[in-house]
Chain A
Amino acid sequence: MNIIFYLSAVVAIYCTLRAVFHKHAVHALLYLIVSLLAVAVVFFVLGAPFLAALEVIIYAGAIMVLFVFVVMMLNRGEAAIQQEKAWLQFSTWAWPAVFVLLLFAEWLYLLFYQPPAVAPVGGNQSIMPQQVGEALFTRYLLGVEMAAMLLMAGVIGAYHIGKQKQRNYHRYLEEEENLRSTASEKQTQQVI
């Protein structure tokens, strides 16, 4: 079993790296989906089969598909890839990388030289879906209700924001637009 953990961990890290640094949005998304699937395997190995399933269905299945849709709607072709290439310069990522590496070093120190004061006994154990369900609908009932409300708000918000198409220009852009349209009208009149 350990080998599965290590394997999927390596896959997850590699794919995540590719996803973050890839220049093509769709490819990056596909890498991300693979990474999420690998994490789902890790979930399963850690004894959380229910969450592994949810990870595949919701994260990899639903959320990422949303991303794919949006990327397709914003389809900007080859120019976008060139743009991404131009943006990912050394000067852009050097300082963030330094800080992140420092943070990583600190976490390594934390994980390997300062072990937790109270260590759990008995190693990893699996928790079956019925236990999760029990906890979810007894102790966390209020949380479930609130999550439901949050989702509802998300749906309404997304619908509301997404529906206002084009009309909601910023005023500068609107002025520009008006100028351009009047200019083109003049042009057409001259042609006539």
Chain B
Amino acid sequence: MKISQLPVRNLTRKPGRTLALICLTALLALSVFGGSVVVLSLRSGLNSLENRLGADIIVVPSSAKSQTNLKQMLLQGTTGYFYMDRSKLDKVIATDGVEKASPQLFLASLRASCCTMPIQVIGIDQETDFTVEPWIEESYTRKLELRDIVVGSQVNAGIGESLRIYGVNCPVVARLASTGTGLDTAVYTGMDTLRLLLDAARDLGHDLKISGDSADVISAVYVKVKDGCSVERVADDLAVHVSKTETVQTKGMITGVADSLAGISSTVTALIAAVWVLAFTLLIIVFAMMARERSREFAVLRVIGMSRSGLAGMIRKESLMIGLAGGLAGIALGAVLVFSFSTLIEQKLALPYLTPSAGTLALLAGLTLLGTTAVAMLASARAAGRLSRTDPGTVLREGN
């Protein structure tokens, strides 16, 4: 047997003691990894929402607020539709401080024989759009033809398949990257296709509360404010100049989400801190108890010639292995729990939730492992220091 194998023997041949220590360190890793993934996912979701909204102001008909909740539509993917006259777009464009303005047209499909599934369908003007188009271009660079649709990452339809919307078969030409928001559950298409679908819905007797031609309506206007202009002031001007509309400032929507996120982050951080303090204290106690229980064993090692530094090194190696094993177990368990329940977490928190990239997760796992191992080694350092300073003769004498 090589002396380097001794720490492994000590751990494997005392499985109960080793398992208890591994469980404690696993708890540390689980709390920090699981908690951090949740917080990072929420932050990614918020960033994604900011990027995807892209607009400073959304102009919707006054009736929209009573018909649907725009925030819920964007954050949680609830379906809804509302319409206003297309002439509102020209008035928005004519308002001072507006740099870009692009219309969108909404339609909600049904859980009925005419439709594959109930889903939010969003029509964009590919010529002027500055919110969805850059996102679509990440996965589909060609112009959308009539009936072509692009699906969000949560829509259960692959490229090449078709979705039936009010009896119209629409081929899926692209699938968008996940944003962690309600936008992932929607379907996107050009304005012409959406008007075709509106007409199809009306033909099937679905009352969309549109009095005239479907070509004359839009659902919302997404507005980008010129640099240097106040978003609040432009929103006020729009409210004055564009009658029968409401303006929604996306900053307010994001601020609300950010506030919720800050609250959740604080809670999760406090919980992680509490678990760490508790587990670290327990680890120190357990290592101290273990050192006391093993003091004679350590004295015997000194009797046969192990030096103080050799003894401390052996204890360090044992705690390193415990830290690594516990850290890996905790990270694995944390990953299984967080990823298995991500949909539930997203629903319960009602906030945009986007799992961080593999690189970020790997970095987080690495840091968690490093932290857990360092804590395990730190917890054992006190016991190792005390043991190495103790005269083995005294220990042997006390043990008799």
> Do A and B originate from a single complex?
no
